[in-house]
Amino acid sequence: MWRKVKLGEICTLLNGRAYKKTELLDKGKYPVLRVGNFFTNRSWYHSDLELDADKYCDDGDLLYAWSASFGPQIWHGGKVIYHYHIWKTLIDQSRVNKKFLYYWFLWDVDRIKAEQGAGTTMVHVTKRSMADRSLNLPPLPEQKCIVAILDEAFEGIDAAIANTQANLAAARELFESFLDHKLINQENDWEELGLGEVAEFRNGLNFTRTSKGEAIKIVGVKDFQREFYVPSDTLETVTINGKLRDIDCLKDGDILAVRSNGNKALIGRCLLAKGITDTTSHSGFTIRIRLASKDILPEFLTYFMKSNTCHEMLVASGGGANISNLNQQALFALAIRFPPISEQKKIISEFEEFDARIRDLTSKYQQKLDALHELKQSILAKAFRGELAQEEIAA
């Protein structure tokens, strides 16, 4: 018989530690699991702190990231210190199976996101509201049967997801390799100058929630995905101190780059401004590159900066123990190779055509990933409504 229970009746959620930036090390005794690397395990920092046992997690622990990087996983990365925005779940093993609860968490994620609303930029849930969430709990033997069915069903789905993700990554790498081939790895008589000789730089704006002044559109680090142009239609509106000065207004042809971030791989990612109509600027974690020379087209320079070789150089220049910062001297000295304008236009046209084909391909892969996710959610919904039968999965 299934019984309706509150989550807080069958498990306890333990927060990790809210550490200070000065406590993070490049090398140390314990890796630190943060929300930023919760699902990727990349960009590790370490610590030599000796903490209470409940501030560590280890293989087999059921974890839940409740802010930004959102959702559950069963940890398999060895002993680590985990962050305050992650819960370690201590379960009542006499009432609930760990894998069953993991699958319930996985299904519940989409419900929480729906409750947060479509306009929410950062999903999070409080410990109190999570503990108060209801679930229908079958007897332990039935939980184990449901887990076995889900494991079997998801084995094929997860393999398809992994294959599709690999194809998606390969498509993106193909375009980046194409940029390197056309812009970097060729011997030619193109002119070469330092970026500081052909462009001017300006850091973005700093503001707070208490700022009082003009409301403007802002380009923040979250807008730097894998797009080429600034996503003008989806930019956040913020209030700054005073009125926006003309020197800080974003204009068509401006190139923005990420200059400061906890994830070093994001350093140097760039976007080109085009079709800017609203009053728009950019955040203090970014830097604006405005061409002062008519010998280089902004589209050409943007493609150049998006090449693997150029991006790796910018990432390597990023300093800082905890937050990586783009080295402006390296940016100023960055060697830019470019042909005459007529040849730049031909190369841009070639890139645009190739990029359109890659985007079409990646769109199809993304549609497949979305369909696979929906399939998993559909199966999970049946499982937690008590409607799951092995023959339904096989069908």
Do residue 334 and residue 352 come from a single domain?
Answer: no
In a domain, 40, yes or no: yes
* Rounded distance between C-alpha atoms, residue 61 and residue 342, angstroms: 60
Q: Tell me which H or E stretch contains 38.
A: none
CB 143 within 8 A of CB 10: no
Per-residue pLDDT of the chain (395 residues; tens, 9 = 90+): 899 999 999 999 999 998 887 888 888 888 988 887 888 766 678 888 888 888 999 999 999 999 877 899 999 988 999 999 999 999 999 999 999 999 999 999 888 888 865 444 456 788 999 999 999 999 999 999 999 999 999 999 999 999 999 998 898 888 888 888 888 866 778 999 999 999 999 999 999 888 889 999 999 998 988 789 999 999 999 999 999 999 999 999 999 999 887 777 788 899 999 999 999 999 999 999 999 999 999 999 999 999 888 888 887 776 654 556 777 788 888 999 999 999 999 999 999 999 999 989 999 999 999 999 999 999 999 999 888 754 444 44
In a domain, 19, yes or no: yes
Sign, CA dihedral 161-163-164-166, equals: positive
Do residue 288 and residue 307 come from a single domain?
Answer: yes
Do residue 66 and residue 102 come from a single domain?
Answer: yes
In a domain, 182, yes or no: no
Determine the pLDDT at residue 46.
87
Do residue 213 and residue 99 come from a single domain?
Answer: no
Determine the pLDDT at residue 389.
55
Contacts of 143 (CB under 8 A, 6+ apart): 96, 97, 100, 137
Do residue 301 and residue 327 come from a single domain?
Answer: yes
CB 328 within 8 A of CB 195: no
Do residue 144 and residue 131 come from a single domain?
Answer: no
At 319, is the secondary structure helix, strand, or coil? strand
Total domains in the chain come to 3
CB 55 within 8 A of CB 17: yes
CATH code of the domain covering residue 20 = 3.90.220.20
Do residue 201 and residue 148 come from a single domain?
Answer: no
In a domain, 269, yes or no: yes
* Rounded distance between C-alpha atoms, residue 137 and residue 70, angstroms: 23
Residue 350, φ and ψ in degrees, nearest 5: -65, -40
Tokens 């979305």 correspond to what residue? 370
Residue 335, φ and ψ in degrees, nearest 5: -75, 120
Determine the pLDDT at residue 42.
67
In a domain, 380, yes or no: yes
In a domain, 271, yes or no: yes
Residue 132, φ and ψ in degrees, nearest 5: -90, -5
Determine the pLDDT at residue 393.
42
Determine the pLDDT at residue 372.
94
**Domain extent at residue 233:** 191-338
In a domain, 325, yes or no: yes
Do residue 11 and residue 118 come from a single domain?
Answer: yes
Report the candidate in 340, 260, 255 with the shortest Cα–Cα distance to residue 304: 255
Determine the pLDDT at residue 228.
92
| Residue type present at position 171 | A
In a domain, 175, yes or no: no
